Chains A and B, each alone.
Chain A
């Protein structure tokens, strides 16, 4: 290979081998048309978002853009739980990025600098050589990534890629598959023709710097071995150039019209993503319109409209959703896709353009049913697994709650659910029991419990509904009282002044009830004297911690496992009877995924001496018991297999598990039942973490008489 300074400057002509003078302008005309189509598509999409409602965005744009940039650049959220797809996507993404930058570079150099300041052209020399290597390797990675994706799609039996609906509706979704394959295929063709172009050019020119295109050179050598000569390569180059150009231009043109729109929308959506989505639900203005079950653009926020476009149909939410898993008609993916089809379709767009709610705009599906059925909406447990797993930051739960508000407004709900809401409204508890009976469990706790309304206490224990009224959960409350008493914690409760915190009511879609409960609780809290709050119920914990500040709550809110963890760190927990048992731990959705409390309960379990084995689905991936979002009130008629039973079976699959440990009163109820109905009652004990602690601390329950004496 020639070396050094005696060589000509490394560069190549842009429209090499064009024999007719009109061909170059033709290309520019086509490129301009493609760009016009592209920008029109973007304009139309943005127009639809603009038809949406205003959305109050959480602050911190710079940080969020940086975060989304990192997520996109690293393919981190795509690679989570799926390394193969993550790697393939990273290959395609990075290669596409470099190839796109490469084309842009040529454009800048040739079409901008070449016209205005030819002396500044830089696409030559050392830069050109480095550029060649990068482009060459990118093309190879691009093709590898796409082939990996094609192999996955064709040969892996990946459940989440199946477009079969779960709500029983018939829909021909082969167009989705064709779109997927077209997307993959076109990119692959662009990649392959690009590589061929390079190879043919090398055969034709054999420039001294051909070694800077190693992959292209290898391909060129192959063609030469098959007998290709320089003149035939020149001809082939010309034809391939146009094929490549045509494919690339049509790709650019259709980006905003098809699956490829995710290249724009997903990124934007990832930036707009709210980390507290579903954790803090937006306040519903009194009298404000809720989201109809057949919404038009004007019913949704621009952010929700963007999210609907951002979906790549990757199916992760479809795979993890406990409702879908249990045979319920809800699939978060299909919810999003249904909305997208409707909003992007003729009716949706027309209505969006008018921005009004005309009779035609509320048009239903052809069979007269709403776009999103009530059953689909009531199936949701609000477990937040879909939001957690979505690589592009779609927030399904607030959307579902928004539509549930419409159902509540129209009174379309399960009779048991209506009863629970009426009970919450009338008596402040979902059981419909007397408010005076709220603290009845305390009489049997065996330790004195302060009345926070009359005495100051360091900790105000917000007990919650289930922990107060459910007989199984009452044992948990009594145990917590004994342990805290033993550890010398100064705590008290609100007795009958406490109401359900309203977390579930709000997620059922009964915003007015939530407000009313929050106001009553805030009144009770403002009349009590305490420094901090702790709760036993993760649902109450979530709303007190995250949503009550809007109602004026200013103090620290802890889950009892966090409080105990602190006491343990202070060395106050003297383990006298280590628990020699093997257990597994179930992360409650509202403690784990919602509030990222994963370690406190685990540390406490280990502290008791128990051996902790993790279920396959743990921490962020924990599988919902099926009780959240009001589902505990509705019965299981929408569900085939109960999620809690599936979870118990998952635990039973671990070797030697004796206890299924929970940290949520609703879990106590759900899993005690599930262990019975699934037939594991003899094998696995369902216990709250507090039971382990109480035993480990060696506390013998005292009788009420002893306490009073």
Chain B
């Protein structure tokens, strides 16, 4: 393997964590290959990408799906890499498969790891709602959509810019950008709290959120949730953890009545301590949790609140 392209997500001028994760993932998978970071965004977004050997960059603002797709396509055509990595994110979904299709590359999605296979590689992809892992042969010239958490952003982030930064001309884009919509001013920023008491469908009813509020208060944290709870209108969108919500890294994450869909795990698996409570012992959340309790959350939450109060006197 000689050359790997890593696509750097940039939204609203900010590079996403996933870009650094991909750089690390690429280094782990193919230490000897040349690593080229590709992206579209402001120059400033290149800071922290020094882990790449080179960068190919298009200076652009705003966000246009076909622009990122075309940028990646142009980079692939120019570089003819063996492997292209994009994140399994809202940006990667625009860029990855599109560029593969345009440049005649293969495409494999939901990749969590790579392993050697007869001098080549095999990808492990998590599909079917996390119920199955597919091992897929990775042919030469493949675009991989890599899941969040497959690499370490901490290791991947190297201060400074790549030694070499080449410029890719801004390709023509059909879409036009009409501005960002920002989440409404939030009562609570769940990404800034050390303790998150996160509730899922298992909480049963909007009125039971109060139980979680009491527990959060006893712990000095705040209540967050999985997508179904927000979709049901029981909590505001700002409280949502997961792929389409917030990515959080608290010290303690209590997952109460959350089964652990891959989209949710993506948003919280980096928490330092994960405690999961669920009635289903086979719930995927127990795979990522550090401590697990099989019980009805409606029983467990009041009991824990009580225990904490006893401890605190």
Classify A-B as touching or not with yes or no (CB < 8 A): yes
Residues of B within 8 A of A636 (CB): 205-207
Q: Given A415-B232, A471-B279, are A635 and B299 also a contact pair (CB < 8 Å)?
A: no
Select from chain A the residue with minimum beta-carbon distance to B211.
A677
Complex Cα–Cα for A603 and B288 (A):
51
Complex Cα–Cα for A286 and B74 (A):
59
Complex Cα–Cα for A673 and B279 (A):
15
Which residues from 275 to 318 on chain A have a C-beta closer than 8 Å to any C-beta of chain B?
none
Complex Cα–Cα for A645 and B243 (A):
37
Cβ proximity bits B180-207 to A, threshold 8 Å, 1 near / 0 not: 0000000000000000000000001111
Residues of B within 8 A of A415 (CB): 231-232
Q: Given A415-B232, A635-B232, are A676 and B206 also a contact pair (CB < 8 Å)?
A: no
A21 near B: Cβ within 8 Å? no
Residues of A within 8 A of B206 (CB): 635-637
Residues of A within 8 A of B205 (CB): 635-636, 673
Q: Which of B207, B231, B232, B233 contacts A677 (CB 8 A)?
A: B207
Distance in Å from the Cβ of A680 to the closest Cβ of chain B?
12
User: What total count of A-B pairs have CB within 8 Å?
Assistant: 24
A647 near B: Cβ within 8 Å? no
Distance in Å from the Cβ of A210 to the closest Cβ of chain B?
71
Interface centre among A415, A642, A676 (most CB of B within 10 A): A676
* CB atoms of A676 and B279 under 8 A apart: no
Q: Given A471-B279, A635-B205, are A673 and B298 also a contact pair (CB < 8 Å)?
A: yes
Select from chain A the residue with minimum beta-carbon distance to B207.
A636
* CB atoms of A676 and B204 under 8 A apart: no
Complex Cα–Cα for A471 and B233 (A):
26
Distance in Å from the Cβ of B125 to the closest Cβ of chain A?
24
Complex Cα–Cα for A635 and B203 (A):
12
Q: Which of A642, A673, A676 contacts B302 (CB 8 A)?
A: A676
A416 near B: Cβ within 8 Å? yes
Cβ proximity bits A609-644 to B, threshold 8 Å, 1 near / 0 not: 000000000000000000000000001110000100
Complex Cα–Cα for A416 and B201 (A):
11
Cβ proximity bits A101-137 to B, threshold 8 Å, 1 near / 0 not: 0000000000000000000000000000000000000
Select from chain A the residue with minimum beta-carbon distance to B299.
A676
Complex Cα–Cα for A568 and B111 (A):
63
* CB atoms of B279 and A642 under 8 A apart: no
Which residues from 277 to 313 on chain B have a C-beta closer than 8 Å to any C-beta of chain A?
279, 298-299, 302
Residues of A within 8 A of B120 (CB): none
Select from chain A the residue with minimum beta-carbon distance to B208.
A677
Complex Cα–Cα for A642 and B207 (A):
10
Residues of A within 8 A of B207 (CB): 636, 642, 677
* CB atoms of A416 and B232 under 8 A apart: yes
Cβ proximity bits A680-695 to B, threshold 8 Å, 1 near / 0 not: 0100000000000000
Residues of B within 8 A of A416 (CB): 232
Complex Cα–Cα for A677 and B212 (A):
12
Distance in Å from the Cβ of A636 to the closest Cβ of chain B?
6
Complex Cα–Cα for A471 and B208 (A):
19
Select from chain B the residue with minimum beta-carbon distance to A676.
B298
Residues of A within 8 A of B298 (CB): 673, 676-677
Distance in Å from the Cβ of B73 to the closest Cβ of chain A?
40
Select from chain B the residue with minimum beta-carbon distance to A642.
B207
Complex Cα–Cα for A415 and B233 (A):
11
Distance in Å from the Cβ of B229 to the closest Cβ of chain A?
12
Interface centre among A415, A416, A677 (most CB of B within 10 A): A677
Cβ proximity bits B204-224 to A, threshold 8 Å, 1 near / 0 not: 111110010000000000000
Distance in Å from the Cβ of A255 to the closest Cβ of chain B?
49
Residues of B within 8 A of A637 (CB): 206, 233
Complex Cα–Cα for A673 and B302 (A):
13
Cβ proximity bits A462-484 to B, threshold 8 Å, 1 near / 0 not: 00000000010000000000000
* CB atoms of B299 and A673 under 8 A apart: no
Distance in Å from the Cβ of B33 to the closest Cβ of chain A?
45
Distance in Å from the Cβ of B1 to the closest Cβ of chain A?
43
Distance in Å from the Cβ of B251 to the closest Cβ of chain A?
29
Residues of B within 8 A of A676 (CB): 298-299, 302
* CB atoms of A673 and B204 under 8 A apart: yes
Residues of B within 8 A of A677 (CB): 207-208, 211, 298
Complex Cα–Cα for A637 and B207 (A):
9
Residues of A within 8 A of B208 (CB): 677
Distance in Å from the Cβ of A627 to the closest Cβ of chain B?
12
Which residues from 506 to 523 on chain A have a C-beta closer than 8 Å to any C-beta of chain B?
none
Complex Cα–Cα for A635 and B229 (A):
12
Residues of A within 8 A of B231 (CB): 415
Complex Cα–Cα for A642 and B233 (A):
19
Distance in Å from the Cβ of A417 to the closest Cβ of chain B?
12
Interface centre among B206, B207, B233 (most CB of A within 10 A): B207
Cβ proximity bits B110-145 to A, threshold 8 Å, 1 near / 0 not: 000000000000000000000000000000000000
Question: Given contacts A471-B279, A637-B233, A677-B207, could you give 6 more A-B pairs where the C-beta distance is less than 8 Å?
Answer: A415-B232, A416-B232, A642-B207, A673-B205, A676-B298, A681-B299
- What are 15 A-B contacts defined by CB distance under 8 Å? A415-B232, A416-B232, A471-B279, A635-B205, A635-B206, A635-B232, A642-B207, A673-B204, A676-B298, A676-B299, A676-B302, A677-B207, A677-B208, A677-B211, A681-B299
A-B residue pairs, 3 tightest by C-beta: A676-B298, A636-B205, A635-B205
